[in-house]
Amino acid sequence: MGYKVVVVGATGNVGKEMLNILAEREFPVDEIAALASRKSLGTEVSFGDRTLKTQDLDAFDFTGWDIALFAIGSDATKVYAPKAASQGCVVIDNSSLYRYDPEIPLIVPEVNADDVVRYKNKMIIANPNCSTAQMVVALKPLHDRARIKRVVVATYQSVSGTGKEAMDELWNQTKGIFVPGQEVEPKVYPKQIAFNVIPHIDVFLDSGETKEEWKMVAETKKILDPKIKVTATCVRVPVFVGHSEAINIEFEDFLDWEEATDILREAPGVLVVDKREAGGYITPIECVGEYATYVSRIRQDSTIENGLNLWCVSDNLRKGAALNAVQIAEVLGSRCLKKG
């Protein structure tokens, strides 16, 4: 006997990817429903070799359904996630709404899968920010070996993290630069994204950091270790899919780069590509459609006593969102719900 699964926000980038990954990983589905807002009612989406018609989220009854994967914004999630949870369906939420609630587990399965049992608190599990998810997958095995004191990270985040309109804006601006009269003014972003980088993701806080930067700090502490000091600079770059991160790590104990490389090669969810030669590293284009978190450029930081630098790349629509949500569903199923 398998699971009755709902994908909420099935017409969006992440919702579509959730359906793809559920099919690819052969998640034990007995029945599946694709939900969307009324304006998208009846839109067809793919699930493996099947085609599903979206149903109306407003009218849907979650009673009798096991798991709901949510890929809608925080405002809508605030309305529909408690409804699903109250009707006995476990919600795995991709928005930021519940990530900082101490009663709700924030899960990256390679890092803190044991916390999944806490879903019973509110029948909700939170999926972390895409940039946090890939970083903690790389940090966890190193933290287990040498205890991380401090992380300094600069992100290079693709426009798909903002959504389809942002991807369209990058595409149209890029074309417009080469075609006189077809220039496209920025609407999604405050400045031109084509052939540019923007050091601004989400809103600015009083501290001077953006909310995206604050999220990386708060979520790393909640998922990995509250004692770790984290500082982030988050930058939007003209890449369609795939987030990259330059990570500087300070440890309590010395960790040689060669040992770190060996540890990462054995770590779940990590693939090391690090040849120390031209092209011997991963870039965002090569990670698109892949499950792994890739690590390259592993090297000692000689400016501090116990430091390492590394480069981390992942498909943000997959590991940063849809894949992580499906992996949470897999852990929830195997450890708690025990069907399939």
Please identify every residue annotated as catalytic. Answer: 130, 243
Residue 13 marked in a binding site: yes
Q: Residue 306 in contact with residue 4, Cβ under 8 Å? A: no
Determine if residue 11 is left, alpha or beta; phi over 0 gives left, psi from -120 to 50 gives alpha, anything else beta. alpha
Residue 316 marked in a binding site: yes
State the Cα–Cα distance between residues 105 and 131, nearest whole angstrom: 18
Residue 79 marked in a binding site: no
State the Cα–Cα distance between residues 69 and 10, nearest whole angstrom: 9
State the Cα–Cα distance between residues 177 and 139, nearest whole angstrom: 40
Residue 129 marked in a binding site: no
Dmax (CA) for the chain in angstroms is 60
Q: 3-class SS at 123?
A: coil
Q: Residue 40 in contact with residue 311, Cβ under 8 Å? A: no
Residue 150 marked in a binding site: no
CA nearest 111: which of 271, 223, 249?
223
State the Cα–Cα distance between residues 18 and 87, nearest whole angstrom: 22
Cβ density class 15-29: b for 16+ within 10 Å, e for less = bbbbbbbbbeeebeb
Residue 74 marked in a binding site: no
Residue 160 marked in a binding site: yes
Residue 15 marked in a binding site: no
Distance of CA 161 to the CA centre of its chain: 9
Which residues fall within 8 angstroms of residue 70, CB to CB, at 6 or more apart? 8, 9, 77, 80, 81, 91, 92, 93, 94, 95
Supply the DSSP symbol for 19: H
Residue 40 marked in a binding site: yes
Q: Which residues sit in the known binding site for NADP(+)? A: 11-14, 39-40, 160-161, 316
Q: Which residues sit in the known binding site? A: 11-14, 39-40, 99, 157, 160-161, 236, 316
Q: Which residues sit in the known binding site for phosphate? A: 99
Q: Which residues sit in the known binding site for substrate? A: 157, 236
